[in-house]
Copies of this chain bind each other. A is one copy, B any other.
Amino acid sequence: RQDMQFPDIWLRDNCRCKECYLPQTLSRLPQLWNNLDTSVRVLRQSVDVEQQVLYIEWSDGHASQYPYNWLRERDFSAANRQLYLSEFYRPEQKLWSGQNFEEVRRVFYFQELITCDSTLLQWLHHLAVYGVGLVKEAPLEMDVLRRLSNRVGFMRRTTYGEEFRVRAQPGASNYAYLAAPLPLHTDMPYFEYLPGVTMLHTLEQSASPGGVNLLADAFYVAELMRERHPDQFRALCQTPVDWADIGSDGGLQFHNIWRAPVINLDDEGRCVRINHSIPQRDSHFSVPMEQVRPWYEAMATFVGLAQEHSCRFKTTPGDVLTFDNLRLVHGRTGYDDTDRNV
């Protein structure tokens, strides 16, 4: 108990009494903040060892009590904060090359995901750590992705609706609707708000040799570039790119635009999002002339490394390929869906 650490002002802000905390909403009441007294100090403190409670009397006349278990979870020691961030907030990502895909590849069964919470957690954990999970033996029905989503939260709508069917359409208004090869890309980089997880449910597979899935961990590729090509890595982190999707779908017209680099880092320099799609990169490129050639050279390296470190596999009907769309790039080889091949 002695080794726990708490700032006094944090304790005052998180008092659990009825004046300060509303149990029904599990949240702090805002009264204290109408005129926050940051000079508040502990006058007296005591511990009830049997009840496992810490009592504090404050310089502003208030009195608080904190259960030991509640404090334990919120201990400011470096070890406990690290535990909270990695065990509760976000599991640590493990990056991979396509050459090691067999170690990363893990299969989950649809019926188990729907019925068993611990299997559901394993799938979500695997998605968080490796960015990919393959779901097998899903029914060949249209509501599979919705049922899977609703186990966790809800589907995120885009200008293409909540779900869309990718199949060869003559005269298609979106490149993904063509049977042509689809090189590695992230989905919808033209949205600030984009799908964090993409799910592809295979209802029919082409009997042609094509239609093979390609998948690469673009965070792995980015880290390779940071190490081997630091100038090109910086060019991809610092050159804003114009992303766009102009068209219509389901009766909705749109011209979606978003401007951001290919590699997006957080304040501590960690990769948090990749934007990459050759057809959905705008012909507008709003950067100074001298940044243009270095950016193209860096992209050539990025695209080459992503191909080199991608894996290939072919799904079968009933498979649901799920992956982190902020991190992975995906694609497919071309296929031939003439009547004979469907």
* A interface residues, Cβ below 8 angstroms from B: 5, 7, 9-10, 13-14, 22, 24-30, 33-36, 38, 73-74, 76, 78, 81, 84-85, 89, 153-154, 156-157, 159, 171-175, 181-183, 192-193, 196, 238, 242, 246-247, 252, 254, 257, 259, 267, 278-281, 283-289, 292-293, 296-297, 299-300, 303-304
Contacts and interface: CB of A to CB of B under 8 A. Distances in A.
B28 A292 contact: no
Contact of A279 (B28, B192, B278, B296): B28
A181 B28 CA distance: 14
Contact of A28 (B26, B38, B76, B281): B281
Contact of A25 (B78, B174, B238, B259): B174
9 contacts: A25-B279, A28-B278, A28-B279, A30-B183, A36-B296, A36-B303, A38-B293, A73-B284, A81-B287
B174 A9 contact: no
Copies of this protein in the complex: 2
B13 A286 contact: no
A89 B259 contact: yes
Contact of A193 (B156, B182, B281): B156
A292 B10 CA distance: 7
A179 to B, nearest CB: 13
Contacts of A38: 293, 296-297, 300
Contacts of A296: 9-10, 13, 36, 38
